[in-house]
Amino acid sequence: AWAPYDTYTDATHQLCVAHVLRELQGITDTAPAGSWCWATQAADAIVALHRLTVDAATTGIAIDPKDP
């Protein structure tokens, strides 16, 4: 994330997910061609979790962590 965020020692909130995804995309973009990159897997997981929360909020059905 933006380096000055590291100086905010009293922050009580998280980084914006869009910023996290942008950072992960930057890592993926600079990984050697054809190599596995953990950042891609992390970004995919964040997007999947976001979809679950949006679906739960939209339908009113709670997320069941035991149900894939």
User: With left for phi above 0 and alpha for psi between -120 and 50, is residue 33 left, alpha or beta?
Assistant: beta
In the numeric block, which tokens belong to residue 31? 């990984």
Q: How much is the pTM?
A: 0.70
CB 39 within 8 A of CB 28: yes
Two structure tokens written together for 30: 């600079």
Residue 59 tokens, joined: 């339908």
Determine the residue type at 44.
D
Q: What is the pLDDT of residue 60?
A: 85
Query: What pLDDT band is residue 10 in, cutting at 50, 70 and 90?
Result: confident
Mean pLDDT of all residues belonging to the chain: 86
Residues 64, 21: Cα–Cα separation, whole Å? 25
pLDDT 10s digits, 15-47: 789 989 999 999 999 999 888 889 999 999 999
Specify the length of the chain in residues: 68
